[in-house]
Chain A
Amino acid sequence: MGSSANKPQLIVDGKRVSGRGFSDLRNLKITAGVLKKANGSAMIEWGKNRILAAVYGPREVFPKHMTDPRKALINARYVMAPFSSMEEHGRSGPNRRSIEISKVAKHVFENNVLVHMFPKTMININMDVLQSDGGTRVAAVTAASVALVDAGIPVRDLVQGVSIGKIEGTQVSDLDKDEDNYGESDMPAIVSLRTGEVLLYQMDGKLTRVEVDTALSMIFEGAKIVREKQVEALRAKYESNLSEARE
């Protein structure tokens, strides 16, 4: 992890090391329906991040005693592959960090999916980080939202997010790994653009109240771009149905 001793310069000539401006996002591409056996799936390529999201269900609850006769249970699982980053991750499977992310992702989708439509069932959302470079939790949830829609599960909105951070005193959008590790602060959030709701909100480091306000508006700006990419991915898969109808 980043220690101040070997901290690289993060802003050079008014630009970030990656050459991006302060509010620029990395390249983003989403592909829907990449897995055959899952009910819905999506692959997100966001900068150097590669995350696969798969959705199974609604299906019978396992273990059965967890069944809720009023709504569907959401089961989110975020895991990083052992080979996903520079450091060794040791054994595969969830660790303390990914259990936390799974939990917050679960809460996002509990408020996003129309769970009351499928009582007594469970929806499994798996997010597997294959390659990571900072901002994987927002990328994973963004991909999972596309996967849910691809599965035909009714949701209130496509949800998406960006992480905003502070590096060398400047607030920037969509941190990569170095900016996250050596920067002063990181604030990922998932939002719904239709309602303006914030569904996930975490913060690492310190920000002033004013900075949090700026960060939120930057998140909503970034989310607009991300949503376009989500729609593009779904359009690529489902539009073919319609193209001939316009003849």
Chain B
Amino acid sequence: MEKRIVFPGEQVAERPLRLEGCFAEDGKTYAAVVSVAQEDRVIPLKGRYLPNYGDYVVGIIKDERFSGYSVELNSPYEGQLSNRDTREEFHTGDIVLVKIMAVDEVNNAIVVEPRRLSEGEILEVESVKVPRIIGRNGSMLAILRQHTGTEIIVGKNGRIYLKGGNTTLATLAVLKICREAHTNGLTDRITSFLQQESKS
């Protein structure tokens, strides 16, 4: 079946399924956000990031307290970093890579293993495009790193940290991936784009 774009309220399946960006009603499944549907696979084109157990995300220290820090996660919800989980000291505005250790029923997140990200650049993209930027087993990331020489850390929340190498080219490539996220043969196109651009 062909890829098609579905809008909220459109039926995507004849039976109730638990799909991202969808809801089930009266034994059928309907789209809740603008998505690309192909048979039973539905990929949202837009959506806010919600903290998920095990995700690595790029956050910004929002507040310092006696017991720890709150971390802004490019999401409606923030993460809590306890002093017990880190010996490092942070300040408001610091950029950190953190791992989400626990999420409760109201989406409050406990984050651990902070790693300070300094002297780089931060790029914010749609969190739904992140799997494409990483590629299967990190193939896309490997290509980006290879052609630009940039250290790239992609947070699941859509924040991307870039440091060193040709960051301009890396940024352009990432934005291109986001624009063309739902096309086939994207890896090849990005490779040729990077080769072409790095020559000129």
- A interface residues with partner B (beta carbon < 8 Å): 39, 57-60, 69, 114, 118-121, 149-158, 192-194, 230-231, 234-235, 238-242, 244-247
Contacts and interface: CB of A to CB of B under 8 A. Distances in A.
A69 B106 CA distance: 7
Given A238-B34, A241-B179, A149 B7 contact: yes
B9 A157 contact: yes
B23 A239 contact: no
B7 A156 contact: no
Interface of B: 2-5, 7-9, 21, 23, 25, 30, 32-34, 36, 44-48, 76-77, 105-107, 128, 179-184
A57 B21 contact: no
Contact of A154 (B2, B21, B107, B183): B21
B187 to A, nearest CB: 14
A194 B23 CA distance: 13
Contact of B32 (A39, A114, A118): A114
A157 B32 CA distance: 7
Nearest to B178: A241
A169 to B, nearest CB: 36
Contacts of A60: 76
Contact of A192 (B9, B21, B33, B180): B9
Contacts of A241: 5, 36, 45, 179-182
A155 B32 contact: yes
Given A120-B107, A247-B184, A231 B7 contact: yes
A145 B136 CA distance: 35
Contacts of A193: 9
Per CB-CB distance, the 7 closest pairs between chain A and chain B, nearest first, are A152-B46, A157-B9, A154-B32, A58-B76, A194-B9, A152-B47, A244-B183
B127 to A, nearest CB: 9
5 contacts: A58-B76, A152-B44, A230-B7, A240-B179, A244-B180
Contacts of B23: 114, 154, 156
A156 B33 contact: no
Contacts of B107: 118-120
Given A241-B182, A245-B3, A245-B183, A152 B8 contact: no
Contacts of B33: 149, 152-155
Contacts of A39: 48
A34 to B, nearest CB: 16
Contacts of A156: 8-9, 23, 25, 30, 32
A66 to B, nearest CB: 15
B3 A242 contact: yes
A58 B74 CA distance: 11
Given A114-B23, A149-B7, 7 more contacts: A57-B76, A152-B46, A153-B48, A156-B32, A157-B8, A230-B7, A235-B5
A154 B47 CA distance: 8
A59 B48 CA distance: 10
A230 B30 CA distance: 17
A173 to B, nearest CB: 22
Residue in B3, B44, B106 whose Cβ sees the most chain A Cβ within 10 Å: B106
A245 B184 contact: yes
